Amino acid sequence: MARESQRAKRERAVEICRRMGELYPDAQSALSFSNPFELVICVMLSAQTTDAAVNRVTPELFRRWPDAQSMAGTDPDEVGEVIRTIGFWRAKAQHCVEASQIIVSDFGGEVPRTMEELTKLPGVGRKTANIVLNKAYGVVDGIAVDTHVYRLATRFGLTKAPTPLAAEQDLLKILPHELWGSVNEQWIHFGRDTCTARAPKCAGCPMADICPSAGQPDRYTKQRKTK
């Protein structure tokens, strides 16, 4: 694809989102949660781990510690025993307890409602904060860029950023605000179904005619290996 103008890139990005909306009009999170506290813990635990793996440990986790007050007073080793089947469980157990302590001491036991306050919690970065704000409070303050969104944004030619955090800023510049909230879930579904990490299904892909990486399945992998 020849070098495109910023305007053309914006129009292509909007068209990608339009098609995503048609493919996944009711895209929902695969994580199981029932309140903001459970959501922030679930998203924190999901880093470098599948949602299915998180859903297997959270029923017992929330049975024993259903809120920030109860989790704040426990030993991280006890939390670790419950979540030890997921990746990086020791660090995540520590973050669960420390984040709960801050929620209790600084926010009266309620999960905060701003990006600045959420990212003060251990284990919570912009991606997690964006998801919590969007799903728990209906606040769209950015785009949650996880590995799926980052991979797709790179393959779609919408960013050359070296990190998901930097890629978010590129997406925010080219997508209108009203589209930000739907990107994460819709693109995750597309990344799992079609534009997979190792073997993207370019043949028959509904984005193939506007994707500069169509027919070049190793483009993303090669870029990642050079970093």
Which is the catalytic residue, given 9, 141, 146, 170?
146
The HSE-up count of residue 100 (CA atoms within 13 Å, CB side) is 25
CB 132 within 8 A of CB 39: yes
Is 170 one of the catalytic residues? no
Residue 156 sits at φ, ψ, to 5 deg, of -75, -5
Beta strand residue intervals within 102-225, DSSP E: none
CB 118 within 8 A of CB 133: yes
Under DSSP, the state recorded for 209 is: G
Is 127 one of the catalytic residues? yes
Whole-angstrom distance, CA of residue 33 vs CA of residue 61 = 12
Which is the catalytic residue, given 9, 127, 135, 141?
127
Beta strand residue intervals within the chain, DSSP E: none
Catalytic residues: 127, 146
